[in-house]
Structure 1
Amino acid sequence: MLRQYELVERVMSYAPDADEAMLNRAYVYTVQKHGTQTRASGDPYFSHPVEVAGLMTELKLDQETIITALLHDTVEDTLATTEEIERLFGPDVAKLVDGVTKLSKIEAMTEKERAAENLRKFLLAMSEDLRVLLVKLADRLHNMRTLHYIKSEDKRRRIARETMDIYAPLAERVGMYEYMREMQLLAFEQLEPEAYATITGRLAQIRSSEGGQVDAIALSIKQALAEAGLRVEVSGREKHPYSIWKKMAERHVTFEQITDIMAFRVLTDSVADCYKALGVLHTTWQMIPGRFKDYISTPKSNGYRSLHTSLIFENSMRMEVQVRTHEMHNTNEFGLAAHWAYKQGGTPDGQVGWLRDLIEIVDASHDAEELLEHTKLAIYQDRIFAFTPKGALHQLPKGSTPVDFAYSVHSDLGNFAVGAKINGRHMPLRTPLANGDVVEIIKSRKASPQLSWLGFVVTGKARAAIRRAVRAKERQEIAAIGRQLFDQIVGHLPSKIGKKAVRDAIKRLGLASEEELMVAIGTAKLDDRQVMEALIPGSAAGLAEPEQWSGQERAISIRGLTPGVGVQLAECCHPVPGDRIVGIRQPDKGVEVHSIDCMTLASGTDSDWLDLSWGERTTGAVGRLRMVLYNRPGTLAEATGIFAGNRANIVSLEMTQRDELFGGYEVDLEVSDLAHLTRIVSALRASDAVAQAERI
């Protein structure tokens, strides 16, 4: 563990103007606050924040970041408060510490919800000041280095999985490859211990048996480049164990079939020398087609720049070679921290786009599961490059479609997309994009996102935006239904009401707006009596209680029929009381009752039409619904619970489709009237288990 004077000396060596007294005060503060607390290793707890601060000094970060690293656990794990930290160390440090601090554990939350809320808070804080991210990454890296001291295997695996899914990809997105590789290696050891032991063992065997082969190849590369007049540094190493395992899993190959175990790095003085060195390598050794990538002319979104190629060395040995300048190498290994933005007062341009996407995802995600899903999609996928017709470059995950591209350009473009041209040809919106495609999005102001798009989009930003737009549209429909029901309720009041009565009713019901009132009515969260009482207290006193269901068979009476004439409700449109109806008289078949907008009537019929209306007994009609449920456990039970809660008997239930994401159903329900059926549809649309619901 770093001693106090060692830490301060490190900071003063690269920041001589730093406040030495404040650094000393922060060191003493964290030691005092953590007191006798210990870690799983048995070490004093304060050794952890001190080591995290040490990692920050290796990146030569400013004094506020060093102090934040020292204090980052005090608010969460001690009696320290944000207000006290602000008083002692200033508002900037207090804000940074608060950004790194996790939310207090809330017992009512599930583990996944807690993880999502912590991530949500962290991402928002990171968007305001990226130093939050740097401290958090160093915090997680040191925790991973000491993870083996934790006795619980389940806890070790949970922390390792979170590191692999969230923090290692975040390190990659800001170009901190050293952090990313070490996090992946330590997480890999916990998540796949057998594979880790096997691969590291095989690498050790290769290392001991090759007799310095890596050094010999590196020397050959350096000599070839020196003969061409290039001054370079060359280093070689075996590939990262996790990288080898990932390649084995993706390609379904064994360790022996991985031919490019060795990787070499060539560092030059200039960009021109990079391309000259590449030419020498390709003329000296055979290049493997399809394995060349130019990240200098087209950098990765995190600012990574390098030339990558694969060559066939002697004895058919394959090797990967990366060529870059010394400056690029420094930036590539430590990314954002290598050219710390706050020295120039701003955020590097390359970081703005994906950060903005993450914050949009935070805003759009509906629950913990969505937030975690969308965030992983946003930060953990291989990339392709596609262009707008004007030449603007957009980096997207592999498998992205024109819809993903549209949302990458702007949320509005995605929301109004109706078609796409890829390289000048009209193509379906679900077409996967390839590297270098030129994509033109065709839009219409009358268009809106379709739920079916979730079946093929791959970016977290697109999924979040589509779900938000679909929910907003459903909310509008529910509010419109609620408005119709509200007007019916108002018609039963003893006197007319004005806007003030509505405002007062909203307050009495504890709602925020008139729209919320309509949504509550549309989703059956409020019944007629509650609304009437809120509008005019006492007005529902004489209103009969809602009819209780009985087991007796119910009948429906219809006016306009000759006594004794047989009648049946049409199967094509399933009319229910409240629909405007007509009768079709057919020879020897009696009268068939249809709703006025039935498609059978629209297609034409030679039979006589009868103008009919519903009689007084209007219970027991059957309405048919189509619903699409998310394909996860419990969604069908939730839907049937809605039917039961709204006192609707299920006459029949049939699955019509099923895939990885959704399940489609048609259901016949026994309902009292159209308003009853409408309430059920509204309640279904408001449920998180239901993707779509409509009357057939």
Structure 2
Amino acid sequence: MIDHEAERKEILRHYRKLLRHAKPFLKDNDAKIIKKAFNTSLEAHKDMRRKSGEPYILHPLAVAQIAVEEIGLGTTSIVAALLHDVVEDTDLEIADIERDFGPKVAKIIEGLTKISGVFEYGTSQQAENFRKMLLTLSDDVRVILIKLADRLHNMRTLGSMARDKQLKIASETMYLYAPLAHRLGLYAIKSELEDLHLKYTDTETYKFISNKIRQTKSARNKFISDFIHPIEEELRRQGLTDFEVKGRPKSIYSILKKMKKQNVTFEEIYDLFAIRIILNVPYEQEKPACWRVYSIVTDFYQPNPDRLRDWISTPKANGYEALHTTVMSKTGQWVEVQIRTKRMDDIAERGYAAHWKYKTGVPSAAESGLDNWINKVRDMLDVNNTNAIEFLDEFRTNLFVEEVFVFTPKGELIILPDRATALDFAFEIHTQIGYQCLGAKVNQKLVPLSFRLHNGDQVEILTSQKQKPTGEWLKFVTTSKARSKIKEFLREERKGKAEEGKLLVDERLSHLAVEPSAANLNRLAAYFNVPSVQDFYYRVAVGLLDLKEIKEYIFNPHSEKYKPASILEGSSFDKEVEKIRGISSQLLVIGGGTDKIDYTLASCCNPIPGDDVFGFQTEDQGITIHRTTCPKAVELMSNYGHRIVKAKWTGQQELSFLAGISIKGTDRVGLVNDVTKIISNSLKVNMRSITIDSHDGVFEGRLMVFVNDTAQLEKLIQRLSKVSGLLSVDRFDS
């Protein structure tokens, strides 16, 4: 039985909380407009409930709350957040919104409303939605910010969704929204989205690390207070009294990333937390004050010279400003110290939205950096006529990268993504210079197009009228501007060549008295094993196919000579693997009511029974089974959500699956013997290969073994870790 009165009170409580947070910046009749939006949304969603069973209105209220409290947006955004689902889910139209709430709100909601309809083959609905949303970003960045608030609330309440939906939404979040939050400088939201993604895709690891963080909390707090005590005293002694010092553990996801990257255990990570010193000083005193604090910190603790990051002189493109240094504590631990002011901290937590709060007549470096990025997105949308998924990949490569700062010959600063080359620089200056780029002089030395730029390089581009882009160029550009311009040039050139080829083919066909009908042209393409007629024309034009090979019998299926080129079977390799492993199609239950299904196990992550898995419907190889923690999982689920199939292991038969185990330890006589004895004798596991590399008394080994399921693998890992001299035993994805 639903208690409507209790629900009404709950809704009002959320609404009042929202007003309380919004109150400081409300003008004239803002409160009335917010009330009107709330009532419109309440009425529109009155009979709707979320998967969790709660009234739907609590979702728009929560999104508005995040927009105000965690991103720092204002009235227009509150109204748009409250109404963000009404057009999509109810009878209200954009025109009604515009009439009642004005064109600004209507424009934002139009950007937030998903597209429906049929999409071209090979694109994904999410990718198209995203492209549409970005088009609105060019006019109003609030569209993206509210979308992030919407996604954050969906991730926080993902527990009530079905498992396959959880995986799809979590992966899409990791693929798109976390990088986007990073680029807009919303670090708190980015970290929470990454952690929530981990919570639903790799629950065990998430629990393991969060428990470890919880267990080490009191020891960590004591360490932090001991560490900062002398610094605080000295700050006060020097007259810097208005400050705050806090220690913050790193996010679960970033700890895991570090464990994987450095191949270390939780205990071995030295900077599990960062200490943040936040000063409250006037804008013009910020830079000298931060360096003063740096000087105080390094008086007490020895800094690591390679770990000083000065983002105050040159802020990151997303507006982030701070001084970072890593120092050695008295207990022999490295500690990251971040020094920033109240304004910088605000911008670091709330990103783009916080810029408007501090907006002065002159745009700051941070602000113009973000504006430049938005202009780049605009350029990408203008020149991009590729399919949505390709566009999305281009866009993503520009989200998560660090920057490299380089200079023109006249000393103008150009900011490019990390790993950018001389050719990227040329396209950044001007498309035409990019097209005609021969090479470059970096710091007066001659370098090739593919030369990777470093901070502080001064770059001069050398051009030639005769130069033009080739397909090879795509291998050494990183900016989407360069990539899309090169692709555009190559497409146009290919189109021109195909036109030439068409004339040649038409001439040849008329010589053979064969009509150039669609059926005959398709027959030609099939005969020469070419994917399309356009491709066929192109190959003829560039001399890859000889016109003399076009003979009359090709158009006569009854001719004895008629025999199209054979097409290689794409999945033969997987079939071989299937044969070797002896997999029976009974082993997986995929979806409901399916019995015999053609599937293969993905070689990128080698799933074995007991792993958390999902199925992916490929175009030509049936279903491939991946682990949910597979490196490719995020991309597959984000871009091809409609092809994801629920999968789980059914009753186990005695079959063997290949799994990899890496071992590390101190070298001693007989160690390998002990390891192989456990594998072969005590657990009756077959070993396919073993490689051991010993160096200065330390050895590393990799074993490939055949096991029945994760339980047997776990047992094997446990037994091995008890061998004297072994320091770590882990599974790895071969």
- TM-score by shorter chain over 0.5: yes
The alpha-carbon deviation at position 455 of structure 1 amounts to 2.1
Say if 1:221 and 1:234, in contact at 8 Å, map to a contact too. Answer: no
- Residue 329 of structure 1 aligns to a residue whose secondary structure is helix
Say if 1:11 and 1:60, in contact at 8 Å, map to a contact too. Answer: no
Partner of 1:68: 80
The alpha-carbon deviation at position 195 of structure 1 amounts to 2.3
Is it true that 1:195 corresponds to 2:201 in the alignment?
no
Please tell me the residue identity of whatever aligns with 1:240: S
- Residue 263 of structure 1 aligns to a residue whose secondary structure is strand
Partner of 2:454: 434
The alpha-carbon deviation at position 165 of structure 1 amounts to 2.0
User: What does residue range 312-331 of structure 1 map to in structure 2 within 5 Å?
Assistant: 312-331=328-347
Partner of 2:148: 137
> Residue 333 of structure 1 is aligned with which of 340, 344, 349?
349
Structure 2 Cα separation of the partners of residues 181 and 226 of structure 1: 33
C-alpha distance 437-302 of structure 1, shift in aligned 2 (>3 A): same
The alpha-carbon deviation at position 248 of structure 1 amounts to 1.9
Partner of 2:373: 354
User: What does residue range 172-191 of structure 1 map to in structure 2 within 5 Å?
Assistant: 172-191=182-201
Partner of 1:540: none
Say if 2:131 and 2:388, in contact at 8 Å, map to a contact too. Answer: no
Note the aligned Cα RMSD (angstroms).
3.3
Partner of 1:296: 312
The alpha-carbon deviation at position 275 of structure 1 amounts to 0.7
Partner of 1:50: 61
C-alpha distance 342-100 of structure 1, shift in aligned 2 (>3 A): farther
> Residue 43 of structure 2 is aligned with which of 1, 15, 32?
32
Please tell me the residue identity of whatever aligns with 1:73: D
The alpha-carbon deviation at position 134 of structure 1 amounts to 1.4
> Residue 551 of structure 1 is aligned with which of 555, 559, 580?
559
The alpha-carbon deviation at position 218 of structure 1 amounts to 2.6
The alpha-carbon deviation at position 192 of structure 1 amounts to 2.8
Partner of 1:311: 327
User: What does residue range 191-270 of structure 1 map to in structure 2 within 5 Å?
Assistant: 191-210=201-220, 212-231=222-241, 232-268=243-279, 269=281, 270=286
Structure 1 Cα separation of the partners of residues 345 and 247 of structure 2: 14
- Residue 306 of structure 2 aligns to a residue whose secondary structure is coil
Say if 1:218 and 1:235, in contact at 8 Å, map to a contact too. Answer: no
Say if 2:127 and 2:388, in contact at 8 Å, map to a contact too. Answer: yes
Say if 2:14 and 2:58, in contact at 8 Å, map to a contact too. Answer: no
Partner of 1:409: 429
Deviations 1:422-480 (A, max 9, x none): 22111122222222222222223432222112223233333222222211111122234
- Residue 351 of structure 2 aligns to a residue whose secondary structure is helix
Please tell me the residue identity of whatever aligns with 2:453: L
Deviations 1:296-350 (A, max 9, x none): 0011001111100000011211100011111111112111111228988999422
For structure 1, the 5+ residue unaligned runs are: 494-519, 526-543, 555-619, 635-659, 661-696
C-alpha distance 402-310 of structure 1, shift in aligned 2 (>3 A): same
- Residue 298 of structure 1 aligns to a residue whose secondary structure is coil
TM-score normalised by L of structure 1: 0.68
C-alpha distance 472-314 of structure 1, shift in aligned 2 (>3 A): same
User: What does residue range 610-649 of structure 1 map to in structure 2 within 5 Å?
Assistant: none
C-alpha distance 12-18 of structure 1, shift in aligned 2 (>3 A): farther
Is it true that 1:85 corresponds to 2:97 in the alignment?
yes
Structure 2 Cα separation of the partners of residues 108 and 32 of structure 1: 36
Deviations 1:267-287 (A, max 9, x none): 222321101111122222101
Greater gyration radius: 1
The alpha-carbon deviation at position 188 of structure 1 amounts to 2.2
C-alpha distance 286-479 of structure 1, shift in aligned 2 (>3 A): same
Structure 2 Cα separation of the partners of residues 140 and 69 of structure 1: 12
Partner of 2:300: 284
Structure 2 Cα separation of the partners of residues 228 and 237 of structure 1: 25
Deviations 1:625-673 (A, max 9, x none): xxxx9xx999xxxxxxxxxxxxxxxxxxxxxxxxx9xxxxxxxxxxxxx
Is it true that 1:479 corresponds to 2:502 in the alignment?
no
Structure 2 Cα separation of the partners of residues 226 and 305 of structure 1: 24
C-alpha distance 11-456 of structure 1, shift in aligned 2 (>3 A): same
Structure 1 Cα separation of the partners of residues 92 and 359 of structure 2: 30
Say if 1:304 and 1:328, in contact at 8 Å, map to a contact too. Answer: yes
Structure 2 Cα separation of the partners of residues 425 and 380 of structure 1: 31
Say if 2:72 and 2:350, in contact at 8 Å, map to a contact too. Answer: no
Structure 2 Cα separation of the partners of residues 70 and 345 of structure 1: 32
Structure 2 Cα separation of the partners of residues 102 and 412 of structure 1: 37
C-alpha distance 396-148 of structure 1, shift in aligned 2 (>3 A): farther
C-alpha distance 148-212 of structure 1, shift in aligned 2 (>3 A): same
Partner of 1:275: 291
Structure with larger RCO (C-alpha < 8 A, sep 6+):
2
Partner of 1:97: 109
Say if 2:498 and 2:534, in contact at 8 Å, map to a contact too. Answer: yes
Partner of 1:162: 172
Please tell me the residue identity of whatever aligns with 1:473: E
Structure 1 Cα separation of the partners of residues 338 and 240 of structure 2: 16
- Residue 212 of structure 1 aligns to a residue whose secondary structure is helix
The alpha-carbon deviation at position 129 of structure 1 amounts to 0.8
- Residue 324 of structure 1 aligns to a residue whose secondary structure is strand
Deviations 1:249-296 (A, max 9, x none): 222222222111121111222321101111122222101121001000
The alpha-carbon deviation at position 62 of structure 1 amounts to 3.0
Structure 2 Cα separation of the partners of residues 521 and 248 of structure 1: 51
C-alpha distance 446-263 of structure 1, shift in aligned 2 (>3 A): same
Say if 2:553 and 2:559, in contact at 8 Å, map to a contact too. Answer: no
Please tell me the residue identity of whatever aligns with 2:127: A
Is it true that 1:23 corresponds to 2:34 in the alignment?
yes
Structure 2 Cα separation of the partners of residues 220 and 184 of structure 1: 35
The alpha-carbon deviation at position 18 of structure 1 amounts to 3.9
The alpha-carbon deviation at position 179 of structure 1 amounts to 1.6
- Residue 339 of structure 1 aligns to a residue whose secondary structure is helix
C-alpha distance 344-119 of structure 1, shift in aligned 2 (>3 A): farther
Residues 66-75 or 209-218, more deviating: 209-218
TM-score normalised by L of structure 2: 0.65
Partner of 1:389: 409
Residues 360-369 or 291-300, more deviating: 360-369
Say if 2:347 and 2:354, in contact at 8 Å, map to a contact too. Answer: yes
Identity of matched residues, %: 36
C-alpha distance 17-60 of structure 1, shift in aligned 2 (>3 A): farther
Say if 1:235 and 1:265, in contact at 8 Å, map to a contact too. Answer: yes
